[in-house]
Homo-oligomer: A and B are copies of this chain.
Amino acid sequence: MARPLTPKLSPARIAKAALELVDAHGEFTVPDLAKRLKVSPSSLYNHVDGKADIIELMRGQAVGAIALPDHSAGLDWAPVIREIAVQYRNSYARHPRLIPLLTAYSVRDETTIRMYNVLADQFVAAGFGPARVLEAITVLDNFVLGSALDVAAPEEVWEPGEAATDSLRAALAAGLGRERRADEAFEFGLDLIVAGLERAAAAGP
């Protein structure tokens, strides 16, 4: 029997091909994706229900690289949150153009939900009430996704020409071109946010 010319369709193959399209063009369509996978749109629909499903596959692929900390190991909640935020930002930094697609769709992917489970459990352990738990998760999400976009910024993030004041000019001279520019700013911000959450937790639910 003849062997198929292309490997069998699988969720992982679909996610990989869709991610390649999004990385290159900031968007994908089901017909383009079918073409890239060398299958008909109808065979693709045997594996996924449509665009929202494919976005969930990409979300799972992006988050799959995160090793969730062992939070049964008696770690305090703050270091667990911090560790997840660092890995989460590094994962999405590899696919900056995926980010506005992900935020435009409801999170259903199970791998991603497992990450949010750990975040929610930790914020409950911190003593936050349910509404505050969701706010804390959202604050972390917003900062992580914005910081992931910053990793993809050009080396000269700002080129203000003559328009900069002395303050901005001095800041750019001191900060741009540092090898860990984006990392240092992310760590500074994460420190501010985690310390703020610790103070909020100490103040009660």
Contact = CB atoms under 8 A, between A and B. Distances in A.
Judged by DSSP, the binding face of A is: helix
A141 interface: yes
A139 B157 CA distance: 14
A12 to B, nearest CB: 19
A131 interface: yes
Contacts of A113: 158, 160-161, 163-164, 168
Interface string A120-141: 1101100001111111111101
A105 interface: yes
A107 to B, nearest CB: 5
Interface residues of A, number: 81
Interface string A142-171: 111111011011101111110111011011
A120 B188 contact: no
B116 A138 contact: no
Given A108-B160, A154-B104, A171-B137, A189 B99 contact: no
A174 B104 contact: no
A31 interface: no
A175 B193 CA distance: 20
A100 interface: yes
Contacts of A120: 164-165, 167-168, 170-171
Closest 5 pairs (CB-CB, A-B) = A134-B175, A192-B196, A146-B146, A142-B146, A139-B189
Interface of A: 25-27, 96-97, 99-101, 103-108, 110, 113-114, 116-117, 119-121, 123-124, 129-139, 141-147, 149-150, 152-154, 156-161, 163-165, 167-168, 170-176, 178, 181-182, 184-186, 188-189, 191-193, 195-197, 199-200
